[in-house]
Amino acid sequence: MVEEAHDGSLILWPAQAGSDYVLEACRINADLCDQPGLLHRLIVGSYIAGVDLIEVSSETRLNYRHIKEIREAAKLLTGVSIMDENEQHVILQCMLDVLKSPIYSILERICNLASSMQEEYFRAFIEGNRELAKTVMIRDEEVNRLYYLFSRALSIAHKKKGFAEKLGVTRSSEISFLAIVGYCLERMADLSKLGARSVLKILTCEVELDQETLQN
């Protein structure tokens, strides 16, 4: 659905999941986000909560850190684009129809990536392979994107029964179970990333580990 705003710009609304679909919007006051990373976390949290339209505003103007965190969040969140921007506000909009992304397929993809990351981290450590360690770091970004999309779908399913049924989720306990599984897989990927980062630090410092140390 396309709507013309008062200033002549076009706003694209996400496709409706049903006749009872209600667009969710929120506004974040960037002036209150004085801690580094806070604005980024609020945007990600709003996305996961199922918000479709996120406006980040300031009474004066958005500073460099605000703009940087907004763009980093938009890059990380699947289906999110910057639809309008000036010195005082930025509007982010999610135009993704989550129903077109089967929730169990997303979970399977996260599982496969997390397993690959763990295996590659161990290989990078044993072999002292810098490139393999870097690959693990790259894969973590993809896991994060998928995990946020997965969490968004679960959040909407929790709030809207009709949406949950279309996703193939029939019981509320199933939503809780999927949330726990997804969280554990995401943590598994994070730990592999931390391990790969340690491998890179070791290789950068040219610390030599003997075979006995590696085996232990």
Domains of the chain, CATH where assigned: 2-94 (3.30.110), 98-215 (1.20.58.220)
CA–CA distance, 214 with 216 (Å, rounded to integer): 5
Residues linked to residue 84 through DSSP beta bridges, in sequence order? 91
Handedness of CA 203, 114, 112, 122 (dihedral sign): positive
Short-list 128, 121, 134, CA closest to 208: 128
C-alpha distance from residue 84 to each of 11, 14, 69, 89, 141 (Å): 9, 16, 16, 8, 26
Residue with tokens 């990380």: 76
**3-state SS, one letter per residue, for 112-129:** HHHHHHHHHHHHHHHHCC
CA–CA distance, 40 with 86 (Å, rounded to integer): 18
* pTM: predicted TM-score of the whole model, two decimal places: 0.81
Short-list 123, 125, 120, CA closest to 209: 125
CA–CA distance, 107 with 141 (Å, rounded to integer): 15
Do the beta carbons of residue 28 and residue 54 sit within 8 Å? yes
Q: What is the dihedral of CA 207, 208, 214, 216, to 10 degrees?
A: -80
pLDDT of 18 = 46
Per residue in 110-151, pLDDT (tens digit) is 999 999 999 999 999 999 899 999 999 999 999 999 999 999
**pLDDT interval class at 216 (50, 70, 90):** low
**pLDDT interval class at 19 (50, 70, 90):** very low
Percent of the chain at pLDDT above 90?
Answer: 64
Q: Residue 173, SS3?
A: helix
